[in-house]
Amino acid sequence: MNIDQSIDFRSKCEHFRILVIGRANAGKTTLLRKVCRSTEDPRIFSPSGKRRGLHDIENELIFKSNSQFIFHDSRGFESGSVEELDKVKTFLATRAATTDLSKQLHMIWYCLPTDTDRPILEADIQFFDVCGSGSVPVIAIFTKFDGLVTKAYNELRRGGSKIADAKRKGTEIAQQKLQTDFINTLRKLTKFHPSNNVQLGDVQKDETDCSELINITADAITNEGLKLLFVSVQQNNIACCVRYVIWKDLNRRPEKGFRSSRILVWFPHVWFYKTREPRFERVSSALPCRR
């Protein structure tokens, strides 16, 4: 798919759709607020566009701060029940069967909290064994990594380590535990594996960002139209936009010269949307807009 085809795809598919899976304490909503630069809870819409107050996997979670992301939350999946797994399977199958690009599922973020004594649950294994072989990429997000560091630090301090040593060694031990108890265990116990994984600390802290998650998600997308869609929708990582400008245009076609439209389409401000409750209408093409 060349850049013109990617732009055409991006014009037809205005929203990037992500299924977020994880335990109730995995920090999913906080993560989504961070990704969308929001301090508010998302608005919840039914598939028909009506406002809803309860989470359901078919309902759409949309933040006013970035309405081009549509999230779905598999609330209750951590219970590991057959009913909840069937809901996820049905949702994935329905989205895979539709020919409407805007209704297809584009990415799965699977959140696993690390501040727990139960790294991998049966529900996690069931998901990757039953649903992990689909065409939608899955990114494993290991949340609350700072909790794992704190736990290692406290254990070292109780063992007599000095504060400076406990801080330094605590991070090293936490990294080792993340690899052995979470990443390696997940790979060992499941038939299918995530496309990639990323660790996140306390996303409520200002200094914690999601740039690595954005980069890893973009890299996992093989369809170039979808890649353009995702990179131009996310608003937290301008470096990601620059990286794909270089990858797609400046590196691949320097002999043909540069077209500003080919470069600018990777940046969020180029795609301007006017809010129209409960849906969002595109009001400009892939050109810079004035507000």
Domain boundary assignment for the chain = 16-223
pLDDT of 198 strictly over 50: yes
pLDDT digit string (tens) for 109-122? Answer: 999 999 888 899 98
CATH of domain 16-223: 3.40.50.300
User: Which residue, among 121, 128, 51, 145, has the nearest Cα to 88 in the 3D structure?
Assistant: 128
Confidence of residue 224 (pLDDT cuts 50, 70, 90): confident
Distance CA 259, CA 286 (A): 12
Element (H, E) at 109: strand 107-113
Tokens encoding 111: 């959140």
* For residue 278, cis peptide bond before it (omega within 30 degrees of 0): yes
pLDDT digit string (tens) for 242-273? Answer: 888 776 665 555 555 555 667 777 887 666 44
pTM of the model: 0.86
SS (HEC) of 34-90: HHCCCCCCCEEECCCCCEECCCCCCCEEEECCEEEEEEEECCCHHHCCHHHHHHHHH
Distance CA 267, CA 181 (A): 38
